[in-house]
Structure 1
């Protein structure tokens, strides 16, 4: 999905709140992790929005999102703990659309989806 329409407001928020003063991959990864840690309220219900090779979850499936994965794992992408079919597993946040999350959670996830879908990398 790289190359989706540029959202100037979202780009500005990401530049000023998430990756501000981040000069390398590790700093950008930690910026995202801290931003999401501060803005996501767990648990919330989510729906799988797309298939991803790194996940067994399928589009349309509903999961309970219970927390951020450990910061070390999130150095390569943002991952969250989910419960699906009575199993706990780690899934890419880029794969999950929130269903019943608060406004701050929805906006933070939309920011991550935007970043990810634009093809940006840490």
Structure 2
């Protein structure tokens, strides 16, 4: 059996690509590696941290409304949870829970602009 070594990358479909890019870059400090397009014409922003962002097509938005959100949350490791919490509050980001002790250390849960639940832990 092949051995899985970890998550390679994560692609999030957003309602507003520019808004999502601003959030991940300006609020969370991600770094854009590349801006390109998929073969079907959808824009793609690739981050050095392993995150890709694209924008849902109108058909994709209709399907999402019917199916609901299938992703529970995305988790990232950070060095300073207290500083992240301060930065998120200043940016007006909705904090859902924490910081609190979890199996991963101290975790903080918040929402991105599309309502995706994000966990950051130390």
Tell me the TM-score normalised to structure 2 length: 0.25
Q: Which has the higher strand share?
A: 2
Per chain length, whose mean CA-contact separation is higher, i.e. which structure has more relative contact order (CA < 8 Å, sep 6+)? 1
Greater C-alpha Rg: 2
Tell me the TM-score normalised to structure 1 length: 0.25
